[in-house]
Amino acid sequence: QLDLVQSGGGLVKPGGSLRLSCVGSGFNFNDYYMSWIRQTPGKGLEWISYISISGHTIVYADSVKGRFAVSRDNAKNSLQLQMSSLRAEDTAVYYCARGRGGYSDFWGQGAPVTVTS
Amino acid sequence: DIQMTQSPSSLSASVGDRVTIICQASQDISNHLNWYQQKPGKAPNLLIFGASNLQSGVPLRFSGGGSGTEFTFTISSLQPEDVATYYCQHYDNIPQYTFGQGTKVEIK
């Protein structure tokens, strides 16, 4: 059964760090690029990061560049998002999603991140 | 950067009505446009990719069209289970992805 299981969300203070994980099952993880997308409370969707199948190509949105780092381990079917220097405006539900051909055809369940003092 | 503008931001229609949502790009994006459905508390679900291609398993009442700068998403006969927010999404070759602001669809 197809699944992307996310973990690692939570409460963190401004300036702090948090690591999100996303583990895939039921499909060949190394056939898909992966993305992170976030959704702020009551607002829309914002794409924040892309990592290619090999992990050699990584792209970030300007809003997180220099603060967030994405990585993947194809042997473990896992994707990580290391978030540093967190700000209140990073408060959101974070989704991992698998992608192919420019679209994300399956998403994780989401991990809420709250940045507050 | 390319901007994606969706309209309307919300709509209310009766069961069985035809519903159309517009997504406009600030410059020509060819057919690099996807549509997602998001129900409350759930992750988005891909409905249409490449502007007009129906994702496997998606009901035939959903369709997409357009190219260049103007795109449409249509529900031919609105059903109660279609209550959701719908988002268009552009992708480029970098790759970067840009979502529209979303259209909330409700039943009248």
Which tokens in the block code for residue B43?
Answer: 């992750």
- Count contacts between A and B (CB, < 8 Å): 58
Phi-psi region of B97 (alpha: psi -120 to 50; beta: other; left: phi over 0): beta
Q: Mean pLDDT, chain A, as a whole number?
A: 96
Nearest to A59 among B36, B96, B99 (CB): B96
**What's the mean per-residue pLDDT of chain B?**
96
pLDDT reported for residue B37: 98
Q: A102, B34 in Cβ contact below 8 A?
A: yes
Q: Which of A45, A46, A101 sits opposite B44 (nearest CB)?
A: A45
Query: Does position B93 have pLDDT exceeding 90, yes or no?
Result: no
Instruction: Tell me which residues of chain B have a C-beta less than 8 Å from any C-beta of chain A.
Output: 32, 34, 36, 38, 43-46, 49-50, 55, 87, 89, 91, 94-102
Q: Both tokens of residue A31?
A: 């056939």
CB-based contacts of B19: which residues, under 8 Å, 6+ apart? B11, B13, B74, B75, B78, B82, B105
Answer yes or no: do B97 and A50 touch at CB < 8 A. Answer: yes
Q: What is the pLDDT of residue B87?
A: 98
pLDDT tens-place values along chain A, 117 residues long: 999 999 999 999 999 999 999 999 999 999 999 999 999 977 789 999 999 999 999 999 999 999 999 999 999 999 999 999 999 999 999 999 999 889 999 999 999 999 999
- pLDDT reported for residue B1: 86
